[in-house]
Amino acid sequence: MHTRIGPIQRPRLLLALALAPLLTGCFASAGGESGEATGESGSRLRVALAFPPAENLSPYGADATILSRLGVTEGLTSLDANGSAAPALARSWQREGDRSWLFTLREATFQDGTEVTPARVAAALTHATEAKPAPAALSGVTLTAEPAGGDRIRIRTNSSDSVLPLRLAGPALAVLSPKAYEEKGRVDPVGTATGPFELTKATGSTAATLDRFDDYWGGLAQAAGIDARFIADGTARANALRTGQVDLAEAIPVAQAATLDPATRRETATTRTTSLQLNTRTGPFKDPKVRAAAREAVDTSALAKGVYEDHADAGTGIYGPAVTWAASKREQPAGRARVVKPAGTTITLATYDNRPELPEAAQVLKQQLEQAGFKVELEIREYSRIESDALAGKFDAFVVARNTLVDTGDPVAVLASDYTCDGGYNLALLCDKDVDRAVAKAEGAADTSARQSAAMAAEAEILGTDAVVPLVHQRVVTGVGTSVKGVLLDPYERTLVGPGTRR
């Protein structure tokens, strides 16, 4: 991934756009390589991913990260190691006013051979704004895009938005060629993106084939292609790496990490928080006093030490220790309801098994909640088979692992997406006027420190509703074959394979 900052962009970035946190870890290459391509034919990489496509590889939902991690899609911007906006398809940008930005495009080609032009980029962004539900990166903002002459594109927002370059780095705002949008109601990323690897074939939810894109603007990738397998079972992913069936395996379960050769383990601090989301719209947890009882029943330290075997920190808030400024700005939740005894209240607790720790965490939560007086029915499925039911509120409680900065790199975006009345990923179905007001205030803050403080004030309002119980803040283990070089170990979990990844 290229993270050079152009001369026009750097001053503005430092003064106005450095709104994402400095992280405890940086993007790391497993082999310490720079990622420069050599032009050699290279070998194909075999990669095991944890999450099968849930939405036919649409870039507008959870599958967007699959595409970005495999080096298929790109947006106008990317995130650098410090969480700041960096050039991607746009080589520079400038702010024209409160509601207008001017982006200058680099010379690039879509994988179908057509040229990346301002008109085509504007059309791609317009399609994203019309998606239902809206991509999380667009929570709280409406944008319009149009060519601005030459190699420039002008993007306007309906309100002042100082973090637009961060939003445009979101995987869901990837730029695709017009061919991707020809079929009504579907976006097809096969052969229509701009990244170093071209998706040539997707076999349902089991596998995908990618070939090197020889006209990639960033230089020829060192690997000839990628053979990706979607393996939801974590033990199976670890075994595939151990037996040499794959070269890379993401999200190795903590229970399997110790069984791998230490030379093949990479642990990365991430901004991912595992939490218990309580259904505030229907069922027992509609009552804030019952939610308070569930929160009181949970022992997060037992989860961090027992389930995650110290590969995680006990939950302290929506943002964890990888968000380095959060602890010093954290506010105590206020207005929490009085705790009542559940007295045999029956609840349905659900989660998914793509991350193997989650079912175990759910079992421990079941025991803790039952000790407090709840009766708990547990339901576990593969993520693609449970997401729609979770979003529809068909469970009383849901355990989810959520990267709090994956959508934009902006700390406020996840609050708008996950906890406001109009949020597109609101698993708790929370709709609280005080929360919405606090999130709106944070969205309106442009100064870096003020935005961070406002985000923490909004976090306190959200935690005060007991709609969410932060459980642990995760570190992820990636399995990397000893012959593999140039892997992108990303705190935001947006990238894994880049032009310099090879074996």
In this predicted structure, the answer to whether residue 114 has a pLDDT above a threshold of 90 is yes
In this predicted structure, the answer to whether residue 437 has a pLDDT above a threshold of 60 is yes
Query: If you write DSSP's letter for every residue of 363-428 in order, what string do you get?
Result: HHHHHHHHHTT-EEEEEEE-GGGTHHHHHTT-SSEEEEEEETTSSSS-TTHHHHHHHSTT-TT-TT
H helices of 40-163, in order, are 64-69, 118-130
In this predicted structure, the answer to whether residue 2 has a pLDDT above a threshold of 50 is no
Fold agreement (9-229+481-489, 270-475):
no
Domain topology for 9-229+481-489:
D-Maltodextrin-Binding Protein; domain 2 (3.40.190)
pLDDT digits (tens, 9 = 90+) for 10-37: 333 333 333 333 333 344 444 433 334 3
pLDDT of residue 486: 96
More confident residue, 411 or 124: 124
In this predicted structure, the answer to whether residue 334 has a pLDDT above a threshold of 60 is yes
pLDDT of residue 366: 98
More confident residue, 10 or 323: 323
In this predicted structure, the answer to whether residue 9 has a pLDDT above a threshold of 50 is no
Weakest-pLDDT range from 44-58, 301-315, 382-396, 404-418: 404-418
The rounded distance, in Å, linking the Cα atoms of 88 and 69 is 15
Q: Tokens for 30?
A: 């497993």
The rounded distance, in Å, linking the Cα atoms of 249 and 244 is 11
Provide the percentage of residues in the chain whose pLDDT is more than 90: 70
Q: In the chain, what are the domain boundaries?
A: 9-229+481-489, 270-475
Q: What is the mean pLDDT of residues 61-86?
A: 90
- Under the banding of pLDDT at 50, 70 and 90, the label for residue 135 is confident
- Under the banding of pLDDT at 50, 70 and 90, the label for residue 409 is confident
- Under the banding of pLDDT at 50, 70 and 90, the label for residue 41 is low
Strand partners, 488: 29
Which region, left, alpha or beta, applies to residue 133 given φ > 0 means left and ψ of -120 to 50 means alpha?
A: beta
pLDDT of residue 492: 83
Weakest-pLDDT range from 213-227, 232-246, 317-331, 362-376: 317-331
Q: What is the mean pLDDT of residues 229-248?
A: 95
The rounded distance, in Å, linking the Cα atoms of 271 and 82 is 12
Q: What is the mean pLDDT of residues 287-301?
A: 97
Residues 6+ apart with CB under 8 A from 39: 220
pLDDT of residue 303: 96
pLDDT of residue 289: 96
The rounded distance, in Å, linking the Cα atoms of 499 and 486 is 8
For the chain, the average pLDDT equals: 89
pLDDT of residue 84: 81
Q: What is the mean pLDDT of residues 435-439?
A: 97
pLDDT digits (tens, 9 = 90+) for 170-199: 999 999 999 999 998 889 999 999 999 999
Asked: is 270-475 a CATH 3.40.630.30 domain? The reply is no
The rounded distance, in Å, linking the Cα atoms of 207 and 193 is 19
In this predicted structure, the answer to whether residue 5 has a pLDDT above a threshold of 60 is no
Q: What is the mean pLDDT of residues 135-158?
A: 92
More confident residue, 405 or 228: 228
In this predicted structure, the answer to whether residue 47 has a pLDDT above a threshold of 60 is yes
Strand partners, 31: none
The rounded distance, in Å, linking the Cα atoms of 394 and 174 is 31
In this predicted structure, the answer to whether residue 432 has a pLDDT above a threshold of 90 is yes
Q: Under DSSP, is residue 87 helix (H, G, I), strand (E, B) or coil?
A: strand
